[in-house]
Amino acid sequence: MTEQLDAGLVAQEIAEHPDALSKPYAGGELGRGRRRKEDAKLVTGQTNWTDNITLPGLLHMTVLRSPMAHARILSVDVSAALEMPGVIAAYSGADLADVMGASMPCAWPVTPDMVSPVHTPLATDEVRYVGDGVAVVIARDRYAAADALEAIAVEYDQLPAVVDMEEALKPGAPLVHSEKGTNQCFVFDFPGAGADYAETVKNAGDDAVVVRRRFRQQRLIPTPMEPRGVVVAPIAAADEFTMWSTTQIPHILRIMLALTTGIPEHKLRVVAPDVGGGFGAKLNVYAEEILCLVVARKLGRPIKWTESRSENYQATTHGRDQIQDIEIACTKDGTLLGLKVELLADMGAYLQLITPGVPVLGAFMFPAIYKMPSYHFTCTGVFTTKTPTDAYRGAGRPEATYAIERIMDELAAELGRDPMELRRQNWIKHEEFPYEMVAGLTYDSGNYEAATDKAEQMFDMAGLKAERDRRRASKDPVQIGIGISTFTEMCGLAPSRVLGSLSYGAGGWESASVRMLPTGKVEVVSGATPHGQGHHTSWSQIVADSLGVPFEDVELVAGDTRSSHKGMDTYGSRSLVVGGVAIHKATGKVIEKAKRIAAHLLEANEDDVEFGGGTFSVKGSPEAKLTIQEVALATFAAHNLPDGMEPTLDSDYVSDPENFSYPHGTHLCAVEIDTETGFTKILKYVCVDDIGKIINPVIVEGQIHGGLAQGIAQALYEEAVYDAEGNLTTGSLVDYLVPAAPDLPHFDTGRTETPATSNPLGVKGVGEAGTIASTPAVMNAVVDAVRQYGVNDIDMPATPERVWRAINGEGSARATAGTVAYGGTSTGSTGGAAADEALDDNRSAL
Amino acid sequence: MRVSMKVDGVTYEDEVEPRTLLTHHLRDGLGRVGTPIGCDTSNCGSCTVSIDGESVKSCSVLAVQAAGADITTIQGLAEGSEWHPVQKAFQQHHGLQCGYCTPGMIMASVDLLTRNPSPTEDEVRHGLEGNLCRCTGYQNIVKAVLSAASELRGEGPIAGSFRDADEPVPATSGASS
Ligand code: FES
Ligand code: FES
């Protein structure tokens, strides 16, 4: 086609460098199990973690943290620290009071009267949790900065710790923020979109069966393997700053830093370099980010702070921590009448970026996949003297899914029904979509029957049930339990209008730019910042497929507010459903522009030009063709463009989703419980997830596996424990049981494909599905194994000690009686010798 | 103290404080930042390197204790541009996501396969219990190690966990394994 291109540079280039242009597109990019582009640097140790960054004259910051849960600060004396070798500066909260900003932001006032306490990056008057920052040291190296912390003298006047949420709400309880006069942060009341719950149950009269349980969502510590870190480089004379931070949200962070410190937004560049996992814990604006920034501004020197793991456990947000009082009602034939949810949610000592929003997000998920005429949700947020909570993988949805899936099993037990049959009776049938839920959402698509049928087949449900029943009958010391979770979730956060109606401080759109380079290569700029999800690979597949260019020719630009200037970042399983769709639409705009130029160059009517497989061709004249790379080169030269045409193919798109996406699936778990030790072993785990159309099945499966691991860890291993004085007793990886390889089973994964109808790619989010679904599947299996001993609930994590105590009639077991059942939750602190041994077994993996 | 050690084929001689951890010396002193730090209690394994052929958590050793040692980090594992079979297998079987645990996980796996060239799945899981990964759920790491073992024994890599390599997967595939 070169003779049809303009003379000069264009034709000359192609003649001299035929390889300058790309190979033709081979097709089949969507749904293909591409191995990841990002792996090359990761498997060879060439990754750019924040802590790797070093700069001339770099100084190191360390933070002195409160050893007490609650105390008045009487004095902070940094003078001795300043005398230490290598120390450049040391500041108390009071020293930085006029530069560090009035308060760190909470972007989600869930009610108009929410109590929102001042939260300064360093405490100035009181410390309110173990780990609250009190002072900082700046020194020439990290050892000197750590040593000097010990020379800072702080006088405290101890105040009572506030550890228990229910105690905290009682009149006369000690207050976390005395100036607020209450420990209650908010009460969010949501009567659903259906009938009144109490009225509905009353009207059913004698036909109503009601089951109540109290479930506890223990406190969890997200534990991304990379702790947090910050580096700030100032250009002092220009009052300009570059920050590298281990953050999921460079774009949101930049705005919030500008608003908090008063440094103009355009003078701040925030970069998320390679980030080693986040899971919600890096979805925040943290004290150390502000402190590094204001200290760098004060000293005019680059500053670095690197978190230790012990600091991470105290100073990075925790997750979950709810008490859930759940009541479900149905008629005697098992048809659901409604659901009532009363939550207590632990905020911790302060409100971080979206602390109050996390439990409130759950409001929309409790009814899950079930049809019911009535629903009522209330949530009370409570302050305690503990590390603030915030998003942790799933954020609000795992809590809801756990409660509904657990109580469906309890209801089935009460009715003497098979738990899957009861679910089938009540779930939305595939032909009933789109379906308007009692919680107000409209589910666009789903097929719960297909996913369940497939999962049961992979699981060998009949065989496992037979074995379970045999062991029950023979009183085998090792019992089997079978657990189900037929979950759905809302993800792809989120339609901006919906976020607005929930009083969230921003929208939920995502931005993309597609840049065609002169040689036909493509840069795709995304506002969704990756931290392990494989965006480089998946986005390359989307671009390759729509532009018809080779996968290898696409490069992702992300995670830097200077080069990807606009974005809402990565959380809530939103990258593909919002960000990926934006990319897809931006490529559409590139093709539109290229088509006009191709028509002009081919001297054809635009309506006669077709595009496919990366090539523009003219209907009826097969030899009149131009590849998109040739058009890119011609556009760059700009010698022969249509009159008035801008010489660029580059295009932007900002996509605001019209609805959430609703992945669903059926997870089945079989556990073996040694009734003599209380030890639980997962025998078999099968999950069939329906996440719609798939871009890359390899990456999808990885996301499911990782999600399952975190959900199973909540069920069996992990718990952040505070003692009565408010000390975190699980303050390191020694005491907090992040599972290692021997602690997890092999997962059998399968999928069904019901495309989402709310976006053009038909995709749904996948990042959180495994975590959301797996916790109740495991716990339902644990309870199923021991229900024969009169147990109807066990607190998470189901440690050998707790299971042993439940079997032996202590602690958390209460028998179900009559039509109204109550669950118990208390657990003791010591177990039998056998239980201790099993507990040790469990820990030995670490 | 003056300490000399060979790291990824290069001999370095430096003045180090007696209390400096090997991991800090590698990262801050020598600029070998391919080995990351994930904890302060020697529990996570992110910092694993090979010292005289044996895998060691470099945060549990002082730099002075490694005087005279021959150390290989993740940055010295490949032969030029040719990756070690374990590195290749981690990519092929998607044994990493964020990649933070990966240098340590790969170094520990190399050591495991030196000691046990034909491990079972269970032996791999137990052999790697000192290395934590928060992203993958371990299943693909285990597959990668088993595949690398087979490759190192000269039997070629084992079949992928994903239908095959880069092939498109049928719309409603069954179990992937
Ligand atoms: S950093 Fe060495 S084991 Fe965690
Ligand atoms: S890949 Fe992220 S910790 Fe292992």
**pLDDT, tens digit, for every residue of A761-818?**
999 999 999 999 999 999 999 999 999 999 999 999 999 999 999 999 864 444 333 3
Per-residue pLDDT, A19? 52
Ligand 2, CB cutoff 6 Å, lining residues = A 225, 277, 532; B 96-102, 133-136
Distance (Å, whole) CA A793 – CA A777? 13
Q: Is residue A31 less than 8 Å (CB to CB) from chain B?
A: yes
CATH for the stretch A50-159+223-315:
3.90.1170.50
For residue A532, the chain B residues in CB contact (below 8 A) are 97-99, 135
Instruction: Find out whether A780 and A483 touch, Cβ atoms under 8 Å.
Output: yes
Paired tokens of B36: 């990351």
A24 pLDDT higher than 90: no
Size of interface A-B (CB pairs under 8 A): 228
Rg (CA), chain A: 29
Residues 6+ apart with CB under 8 A from A156: A66, A68, A71, A72, A73, A74, A127
Paired tokens of A470: 């045999």
SS3 state at B29: helix
The 10s digit of each residue's pLDDT in A323-348 is 999 999 999 999 999 999 999 999 99
For residue A54, the chain B residues in CB contact (below 8 A) are 31
A823 pLDDT higher than 90: no
Which of B101, B140, B141 is the best mutation target for the ligand 2 pocket, counting ligand atoms within 8 Å of the beta carbon and taking the most? B101
Q: Does domain A509-655 have CATH number 3.40.30.10?
A: no
The 10s digit of each residue's pLDDT in A198-241 is 999 999 999 999 999 999 999 999 999 999 999 999 999 999 99
Q: Is B94 within 8 Å of A742 when comparing Cβ atoms?
A: no
The 10s digit of each residue's pLDDT in A182-201 is 999 999 999 999 999 999 99
Closest by CA to A806, choosing from A792, A796, A820, is A792
Please report which ligand is nearest the Cα atom of A309: 1
Lowest mean pLDDT among A5-14, A506-515, B33-42: A5-14
A840 pLDDT higher than 90: no
Question: A189-221+317-492+660-845 with A509-655: one CATH topology?
Answer: yes
Q: Is A39 within 8 Å of B90 when comparing Cβ atoms?
A: yes
Distance (Å, whole) CA A44 – CA A34? 19
Lowest mean pLDDT among A592-596, A777-781, A839-843: A839-843
Per-residue pLDDT, A28? 86
Please report which ligand is nearest the Cα atom of A733: 1
Per-residue pLDDT, A844? 35
Q: Which CATH class is domain A189-221+317-492+660-845?
A: alpha beta
Q: Domain ranges for chain A, please list them.
A: 50-159+223-315, 189-221+317-492+660-845, 509-655
- The larger pLDDT score, comparing residue A623 to residue A719, is at A719
Q: Which CATH class is domain B85-152?
A: mainly alpha
User: CA of B68 to nearest chain A CA: how many angstroms apart?
Assistant: 23
**Is the bond into A434 cis (omega within 30 degrees of 0)?**
yes
∠ Cα A333 A405 A357 (to 5°): 125
Per-residue pLDDT, B157? 82
CA torsion angle B36 B41 B43 B49 (round to 10): 40
Mean predicted confidence (pLDDT) in A386-415: 97
Q: How confident is the model at residue A18 (pLDDT cuts 50, 70, 90)?
A: low
Instruction: Find out whether A537 and A497 touch, Cβ atoms under 8 Å.
Output: no
Q: Is A44 within 8 Å of B77 when comparing Cβ atoms?
A: yes
**Does residue B44's CB lie within 6 angstroms of at least one atom of ligand 1?**
yes
Q: Is residue B163 less than 8 Å (CB to CB) from chain A?
A: yes
Q: Is A33 within 8 Å of B165 when comparing Cβ atoms?
A: yes
A828 pLDDT higher than 70: no
Per-residue pLDDT, A226? 98
Task: Tell me the C-alpha to C-alpha distance, in Å, between residue B5 and each of A52, A760, B24.
Answer: 21, 57, 14
User: CA of A15 to nearest chain B CA: how many angstroms apart?
Assistant: 33
Q: Is B99 within 8 Å of A39 when comparing Cβ atoms?
A: yes
Instruction: Find out whether B145 and B161 touch, Cβ atoms under 8 Å.
Output: no
**Does residue B130's CB lie within 6 angstroms of at least one atom of ligand 1?**
no
Q: Which atom of ligand 2 is nearest to the CA of B135?
A: 2
Q: Is B174 within 8 Å of A458 when comparing Cβ atoms?
A: yes
By C-alpha distance, the chain B residue nearest A534 is B97
Tell me the backbone φ, ψ of residue A747, rounded to 5 degrees: -105, 130
Long-range CB pairs of A420-424 (<8 Å, 24+ gap) are: A420/A452, A420/A456, A420/A484, A420/A486, A422/A334, A423/A369, A423/A370, A423/A484, A423/A486, A424/A449, A424/A452
B45 pLDDT higher than 80: yes
Q: Is A35 within 8 Å of B92 when comparing Cβ atoms?
A: yes
Distance (Å, whole) CA A655 – CA B27? 42
Q: Which of A32, A43, A689 to mutate to test the interface with B (most CBs of B within 10 A)?
A: A43
Per-residue pLDDT, B170? 36
B162 pLDDT higher than 80: no
Q: Is residue A143 less than 8 Å (CB to CB) from chain B?
A: yes
Mean predicted confidence (pLDDT) in A684-705: 96
Q: Is B99 within 8 Å of A276 when comparing Cβ atoms?
A: yes
For residue A667, the chain B residues in CB contact (below 8 A) are none
Q: Is B44 within 8 Å of A532 when comparing Cβ atoms?
A: no
| Ligand 1 center from residue B23 Cα (angstroms) | 9
Q: Domain ranges for chain B, please list them.
A: 2-76, 85-152
- For chain A, positions 487-506, list CB contacts with chain B under 8 A: none
**Is the bond into A647 cis (omega within 30 degrees of 0)?**
no
**Does residue B38's CB lie within 6 angstroms of at least one atom of ligand 1?**
yes
Per-residue pLDDT, A816? 37
Average pLDDT, chain A: 92
Distance (Å, whole) CA A51 – CA A40? 20
Instruction: Find out whether B140 and B161 touch, Cβ atoms under 8 Å.
Output: yes
- For chain A, positions 749-768, list CB contacts with chain B under 8 A: 749-753
Question: B2-76 with B85-152: one CATH topology?
Answer: no
**Does residue B119's CB lie within 6 angstroms of at least one atom of ligand 1?**
no
Instruction: Find out whether A739 and B129 touch, Cβ atoms under 8 Å.
Output: no
Lowest mean pLDDT among A25-39, A50-64, A82-96, A690-704: A25-39
Per-residue pLDDT, A12? 56
Per-residue pLDDT, A8? 45
Residues 6+ apart with CB under 8 A from A241: A232, A233, A234, A235, A263, A267, A268, A269, A293, A296, A297
B172 pLDDT higher than 80: no
∠ Cα A429 A430 A433 (to 5°): 95
Per-residue pLDDT, A809? 84
Per-residue pLDDT, A25? 74
Q: Is A43 within 8 Å of B91 when comparing Cβ atoms?
A: yes
**Does residue B78's CB lie within 6 angstroms of at least one atom of ligand 1?**
no
Q: Which of B39, B73, B174 sits opposite A45 (nearest CB)?
A: B73
Mean predicted confidence (pLDDT) in B8-18: 96
| Ligand 2 center from residue B85 Cα (angstroms) | 19
Q: Does domain B2-76 have CATH number 3.10.20.30?
A: yes
B163 pLDDT higher than 50: no
